[in-house]
Chains A and B, each alone.
Chain A
Amino acid sequence: MMEEVFSIELPVGERLTIRKNRIAGKVPSQKRFVIVTGVHGDEFEGQYICYEIARRLMEHLDSLAGIVDIYPALNPLGLDIAERNIPRLDMDLNRMFPGREDGTTMERAAAAIIRDIAGADMCLDVHASDIFVKELPQVRVSEEFADQLLPYAKLLNTDMVWMNASATVHESTLAHSMNMLGVPTLVVEMGVGTRIDIGYGNQVIEGIFNLMKEIGIWQGEVGRIQYPVISTDGEVEFIRSEAVGVFLPAIAHNHYVKKGDKLGEIVSPLEGKILDEITAGKSGLVFTLREYPFVRKGSLLARILTGIDEK
């Protein structure tokens, strides 16, 4: 059943509407599981996940015990033009939570989203990476809620669980606000901005069914599930550009490298020169790799998960 979570009149002949699909199972239960995505308008990985989860659930309502709420587009205007932030306002919706009931339009939208999800048994916020780097499927968990979330994060069939990672788990995010309200909320990140990797999507979808099974919402079949590497910030090697130019990778994403291996080059198109050769400072798995070619000093080129052996 389609429901409106938030709706306001835009200036010119249109309403901004945030919608959800409420899928109620045939097995009686009070449980509610929430999947949200599209908080950033340049992230589309969650679109496939929402579609496929909804499709499978609708086909097997007799295996569903409770409710699954799917919110595919928290920032619908951004998604429509593939703009990360809220168009016109140019603010990151995922830095506006928990919002304000009496605030500006989008502060109200943020508050309405929080109000609507509150009371759920669990929430999953699906992100793609931005357009700059490609990511392996991973769950990001802040240290503050790690004890509570880690047992669930391990179930999601991702390659890794990254504890206390980046801005994704900051205070003004949806995930932080929901966790503060007592709704265990996990953040999944995968792929690259403005694209859909169906392989990654299918991997995470199995994990979502696995998680739903574990919390008693899903009673149907679940595919094969892998156990993720659990990593902390100390085990992640950040490789950043110290030159300004165009990055040409020498390796593939999701690739094991040894210390000293060449990861790529930064070149000058004008001079026809190699400005910097990028090598791995430590051995490990390249789980993040730059997709966007232009780099400045400080641009993220790769992240290596250290302390693990090649499979």
Chain B
Amino acid sequence: MRKEEICTVRSPYRQDMVIQGYHFGKGEPTACILGSVRGNEMQQMYICSQLVRALKELEANGCINAGKEIMVVPVVNGMGMNVGRRFFGVEDMDINRMFPGKEDGDTTDRIAAEIFEKIREYTYGIQLTSFYMTGEFVPHVRMMETGFQNTSLANLFGLPYVVVRKPSPLDTKTLNYNWQNEMTAAFSVYTNKNDTIDEKSARQAVAAVLRFLTRMGAIRYESHSGYISHIILEEDLIDVHVLKGGIFKGLVEPGEDVRYGYLLAEIIDPYEGYVKETITAPTDGIVFFAHTEPLISEGNIAYRLIHRLHE
């Protein structure tokens, strides 16, 4: 294992924020795995730390294939993590919406540019990340439909689902989008948690990344073959909205199988405690995304369901 300082951000009041890359093997830049770019992505950081641990062991056992080099960057926004801020610095900027960055731009532009310069050459790019909607997902691999996306490769992670998202203008500054534009096969891996650590799904993500690296010929690692992924277009997910605001009492979790009319959640009046609204499944399906915060506003998305076509 070789450590590299990818980027150093100085502050007059704190220690430098050093973004560390951990290299395994020698040869062509094969796969880069990036962890928490946002200060609340604890699960993502944890998964990467476990990948570093696993790859270190694999390297010691001679299981990194010849001519293949892998880099893991567990944490980008360490400063944000230490002060409980999702975004970076006093400007509160989302580094994951600054790519490809500008080397003569603002602070976060420069951070993004320095990182991107170090990771753009990799054949495969894997980002452990979080979504702009707060809630929990079924573990899945997400790709942008840029024209360069390759869903067959995404299947090789062996996670239950691969989701293809049509990029909106909001997405064009993300790492995934820009990686793909640079011809890196880019994948975003989502587990169920962000700001807390879930051991079970973290293990699933570590196994998925190691499985993918094995199948791409980067490492030798004995693993379960995983799922045959189901490919979903994001636009085909069925959004279940709430009609009233209040306390959100979710009754189902991501991955659960629900039937038409099944009770999914209740909206409780925050003053008098009565049920203001019951949310039922509009179709047979599987819960792909679940709102998890205790409060919800009118019109928000409580669940996203995968419509079930067959028994």
User: Contact: B92 with A11, CB < 8 Å?
Assistant: no
CB contact under 8 A between A300 and B106, given known A8-B245, A12-B270, A244-B10? yes
User: Contact: B295 with A104, CB < 8 Å?
Assistant: no
User: Contact: B109 with A298, CB < 8 Å?
Assistant: yes
In the complex, how many angstroms separate the beta carbon of B86 from the nearest chain A beta carbon?
Answer: 6
User: Contact: B106 with A11, CB < 8 Å?
Assistant: no
User: Contact: B92 with A85, CB < 8 Å?
Assistant: yes
User: Contact: A297 with B245, CB < 8 Å?
Assistant: no
A100 to B192, CA, bound (A): 25
B274 CB–A CB distance under 8 Å: no
User: Contact: A294 with B92, CB < 8 Å?
Assistant: no
B-binding segment of A88-96, A196-204, A224-232 = A88-96
A151 CB–B CB distance under 8 Å: no
A127 CB–B CB distance under 8 Å: no
User: Contact: A11 with B10, CB < 8 Å?
Assistant: no
* Most central of A238, A292, A297 by chain B CB within 10 Å: A297
User: Contact: A294 with B109, CB < 8 Å?
Assistant: no
Type the 1/0 row for B89-113, where 1 means its CB is closer than 8 Å to any CB of A: 1111000010000001111111000
Type the 1/0 row for A2-35, where 1 means its CB is closer than 8 Å to any CB of B: 0000001111110010000000000000000000
> What's the tally of chain A residues with a CB closer than 8 Å to chain B?
39
Q: From B270, which residue of chain A is reached at the shortest CB distance?
A: A12
Partner of B11, one of A172, A269, A296, A298: A296
Q: From B105, which residue of chain A is reached at the shortest CB distance?
A: A298
User: Contact: A172 with B170, CB < 8 Å?
Assistant: yes
Partner of A9, one of B12, B104, B106, B245: B245
CB contact under 8 A between A244 and B297, given known A90-B87, A91-B132, A298-B106? no
CB contact under 8 A between A9 and B297, given known A104-B133, A171-B169? yes
A240 CB–B CB distance under 8 Å: yes
Which residues A69-109 have CB closer than 8 A to chain B?
84-85, 89-91, 95-96, 102-105, 108
Please give, as numbers and ranges, the residues of chain B lying within 8 Å of A248 by CB-CB distance.
none
A186 to B97, CA, bound (A): 25
B298 CB–A CB distance under 8 Å: yes
Which residues A91-135 have CB closer than 8 A to chain B?
91, 95-96, 102-105, 108, 130, 132
CB contact under 8 A between A84 and B270, given known A10-B297, A299-B106? no
CB contact under 8 A between A297 and B90, given known A9-B297, A11-B295? no
A85 to B169, CA, bound (A): 17
In the complex, how many angstroms separate the beta carbon of B115 from the nearest chain A beta carbon?
Answer: 14
Please give, as numbers and ranges, the residues of chain A lying within 8 Å of B296 by CB-CB distance.
11
A239 to B172, CA, bound (A): 27
In the complex, how many angstroms separate the beta carbon of B59 from the nearest chain A beta carbon?
Answer: 34
A111 to B244, CA, bound (A): 19
Type the 1/0 row for B132-167, where 1 means its CB is closer than 8 Å to any CB of A: 110000000000000000000000000000000000
Please give, as numbers and ranges, the residues of chain B lying within 8 Å of A294 by CB-CB distance.
12, 90
In the complex, how many angstroms separate the beta carbon of A43 from the nearest chain B beta carbon?
Answer: 14
In the complex, how many angstroms separate the beta carbon of A177 from the nearest chain B beta carbon?
Answer: 9
A180 to B22, CA, bound (A): 45
Please give, as numbers and ranges, the residues of chain A lying within 8 Å of B27 by CB-CB distance.
none
In the complex, how many angstroms separate the beta carbon of B284 from the nearest chain A beta carbon?
Answer: 21
User: Contact: B271 with A105, CB < 8 Å?
Assistant: no
A245 CB–B CB distance under 8 Å: yes
Please give, as numbers and ranges, the residues of chain A lying within 8 Å of B9 by CB-CB distance.
296-297
Please give, as numbers and ranges, the residues of chain B lying within 8 Å of A171 by CB-CB distance.
169, 172
User: Contact: A108 with B92, CB < 8 Å?
Assistant: no
B239 CB–A CB distance under 8 Å: yes
In the complex, how many angstroms separate the beta carbon of A41 from the nearest chain B beta carbon?
Answer: 12
B168 CB–A CB distance under 8 Å: yes
User: Contact: A297 with B110, CB < 8 Å?
Assistant: yes
A170 CB–B CB distance under 8 Å: yes
Q: Given known contacts A105-B299, A244-B11, what 15 new A-B pairs fall within 8 Å (CB)? A: A8-B298, A9-B244, A9-B297, A9-B298, A11-B245, A12-B270, A89-B132, A132-B91, A172-B168, A172-B170, A240-B106, A270-B12, A296-B89, A296-B107, A298-B106
Could you pull out 17 A-B pairs where Cβ atoms are within 8 angstroms? A8-B245, A9-B244, A9-B298, A12-B245, A12-B246, A12-B295, A13-B270, A90-B86, A95-B170, A103-B301, A104-B300, A108-B299, A171-B172, A240-B106, A244-B12, A268-B12, A296-B107
Closest 8 CB pairs of A and B: A11-B295, A9-B245, A172-B169, A171-B169, A298-B107, A9-B298, A8-B298, A244-B10
